[in-house]
Structure 1
Amino acid sequence: MKDYIISGIQQIGIGVEDLKEAWKYYIDVFNMDIRVLEDNTVAELMLPYTGNVPQKRHAVIAINMQGGGGFEVWQYSERKPQKAAFDIQTGDLGIFAAKIKSRDVAKSFEEFSKNKQVKIAGSICKSIDGNNTFFLQDPFGNFFQVVQDDYIFRDEKHTTGGVAGAIIGVTDIDKAVKVYTGILGYDKILADETGVFDDIKALPSGSQKYRRRLLTHSQPRKGALSKLMGPSYIELIEAKDRKPQSIYAGRFWGDPGFIHLCFDITNMDALREKCKSHGYAFTADSASNFKNGESFDMGEAAGQFAYIEDTDGTLIELVETHKIPISKKLGLSLNLKKRDALKPLPGWMLKALRFGRVKAEQL
């Protein structure tokens, strides 16, 4: 295979101060109760983003079986996480909010309004694509946007699924699309508007003027895990009334907040060349330690990973999955290196991930 494949958003990384506390919340509120992998080792290959010192950390990747990307809940084990020194505003540079899939946004709004754990920001409104939407904030300061998306992988009778994308602050949308369209394949514009918007007015500095471009991919994603992840969206937002700050200025990867957006890919070698030719060379690359397609051990999973930065330094993780655990109790896992890269895994096989379900009270 000469070209690379993007199967979808694998997960969004969320740096936290207390992994168990945060994961319990994400299980209760977002049904992120399927543990795909858990790793409690040292991050040795992320030195550019961890003060040039290997840092021990505890991380869990969890998903919602209804489909979409998961959460990588990430905590430093031996270093005190550092919060932003300023109040993060809408349009600040980096990942401002995670988009969460909902089959019925109005019903989700009703359900979350009754949930005492949930802090809703504003009310239900029309987004720039004309669909219902609303925002909520977790106890740790992170914003989530619930968006209309009818895709369901396994119906578990919830109104919401997993991650549908992200809102990313940029200084110049026309420059930022070189990464999101040119490399990550978000080639379809659903909306591109400039003004003051009702749906974000309740957010910090949300009543100011912004340009917003909502992107998706014109063709269905391909690859082994594409059925699980489904379609996704990137919203780029550009502040017009003020100079935005970088969300992670002076901080480390893994500090509290949205630390990266991760894409599941196939053919890391081809993607490496594409990124380099577009001026976005890998800033971290597991292949520097594992040659000839060898796997990087990620706890119960294995693969290769790399990072690039968008035009404003936002971290994009790229993961080529070689092995995923299906049932830890039964010792079952999937070896993806031996399969047709273009062919999605059968639904019944991916649905076996439900055997990794974790209850919040078990943590």
Structure 2
Amino acid sequence: MKAAPSPEKMVPVTILTGFLGAGKTTLLKRILTEYHGRRIAVIENEFGPESIDTDLLVQDSEEQIIELSNGCVCCTVRGDLMRTLTDLSVKREAGELTFERVVIETTGMANPGPVCQTFFMDDEIADYYRLDAVITVVDAKHGMETLDKQEESQKQVGFADRILISKKDLVNEVDYQALRSRLMHINPRASIEPVNFGQTDLKAIIDVSGFNLNSILDIDPDFLADEHPDAAHDHEDEQGHEHHDHDHDHDGECDDHCAHHHQDHHHAHHDDAIGAFVFRSNKAFNPERLEEFLSGIVQVYGPDLLRYKGILYLKGINRRMLFQGVHMMMGAEPGKPWMSNEKPNTKMVFIGHKLPEEIFTRGLEQCLAS
């Protein structure tokens, strides 16, 4: 059995998702055109009329894997994604194919969850490929309506590491900001930016490391500001973002108010099934209690948890612990030591389907060291 490649030798994978007509294929064509000479394997799971092969294919072929005119390869998933990824790796190792990264374009109706899980479920896939990020494209003109009618589109937003809003020029600023605010409240950990496919900085899409535990947990500061506008004190976090303080260093006297306020704010206009909440504390966790609680939560709510990620302050450990998960699969590893001039603290975000915030919050509070 051959040794697994080191992380820098693993093949990075980008999952490109978004609802029908949002502009995924336009973005994919741009990536393939601009990265001419950089070999990309594209896995297409989109059976719509708009396909990359219209102007990039060298030849028509019934083969599952087709070479493109710019040296990239494209394959349509007719079967299982895991099998397709294995086929690509086998051909790459044999020298039959050369590619540096993989882009998976999902069908517009797809929930990206099972695609993400593929990279954690099989050891050979997990050793060979490194899941870099989920990029979700949202149509500014039809985004609100799609989010109202299609829960799958909410899941696509919930899983995202980067959210790109297309067709901004077709809406006014008020409507754009309303959509942006809604996306932020579904997923406060993803960056949200308008995208002009002719001018987008592809580095912001191609090398994200959104699934890398060492990447910064950057929660949108507006999310926390909106959540607690009456907070007494603001403070700045490590990235220099201004946040409203929301500590859980109390005995629960604020819980009902916080949960009630959060409910009022988030659901004033849109009762989205997918939503997020943030847990923060300046107190250390008892590591054993926390592990037991998170294991239980994942067993019960795993199917409804889309993404969760955190920087943890644990008693007896002088460095931050980094953790994240997808559904029922959770991982953790040590991060940087706490600096002498910084106050250790915990910051966790949970994104999922109708998650009971109060149960999570009370449970996490009970894991804090006394």
Higher strand share goes to which structure? 1
Q: Which structure has the larger Rg?
A: 2
Compute the TM-score of the two structures, normalised by the length of structure 2. 0.25
Q: TM-score with structure 1 length normalisation?
A: 0.25
More helix by share: 2
Q: 1 or 2 for the larger relative contact order (CA 8 Å, sep ≥6)? A: 1
